[in-house]
Structure 1
Amino acid sequence: MRVGQNDFRALRVPPENEDPEVEITRRDAWLKIVSVHFRDGYKWRFSDGGERAFTAEMEDTKFQNDVQAGKVALNANDAIRCRLREEQSLTASHLIKTLYVEEVLDFRTGARQLNLL
């Protein structure tokens, strides 16, 4: 069997759904701060105790402003208790998951090395 010029139209890939359905879940969680980015569009890196760190967008502008103003000093091993929002969508070719820190509920400083001298 041979495919002819007239058959090409039938072989086209159908277009993906323009508006994939988004599933949104919210939960409160303790997250260890791994790294911080202050510029717009950048994500912070966190760990929730699992093996791998993950990124999330910091939406709590009050907490972010407090950090930038020096009211909250971030160091290694600091942790936040926060309201975390996960948005997940499925397209024909991708599973997309985006995490957002909506609100910082609590901040705890991590262990510090004491100067013994």
Structure 2
Amino acid sequence: MQNKNRNNQVYTEGQQSGKTDYPIASLLRVGKENAISSKELVRLSGSKSVRDLQERIFQERCAGAIICSGSGAGYWLPKDKEEIRQFCDTMEKRAKNTFNATKSARRALELPEGQLDITE
């Protein structure tokens, strides 16, 4: 089991954790190369489904846990700041793509009923 370095919130090798504040994070290994798949983490955590697992991970992240994920690799604890940076970049790009996907729909909501948008 790994422990959080309180100064930079990156997990460090060889230290034991006595905390159980983050039950999902406590199941994870350090480094992307040691990621655990969603399916396996559902089993290990006793979650009801992948959706339930994602909700629990969201709650732990909101409470301060740094749980990395991305590109179908699964979930892991960051081994260094670069892994944190990559995780942040991935999540920010995903959020931006989601926002961009709603632009045309938002524009359509602004048009009066029956009016066509001829600006394109």
TM-score, reference length from structure 2? 0.20
Q: Which has the higher contact order (CA 8 A, sep 6+)?
A: 1
Larger helix proportion of the pair? 2
More strand by share: 1
Q: TM-score, normalised by structure 1?
A: 0.20
Larger radius of gyration: 1
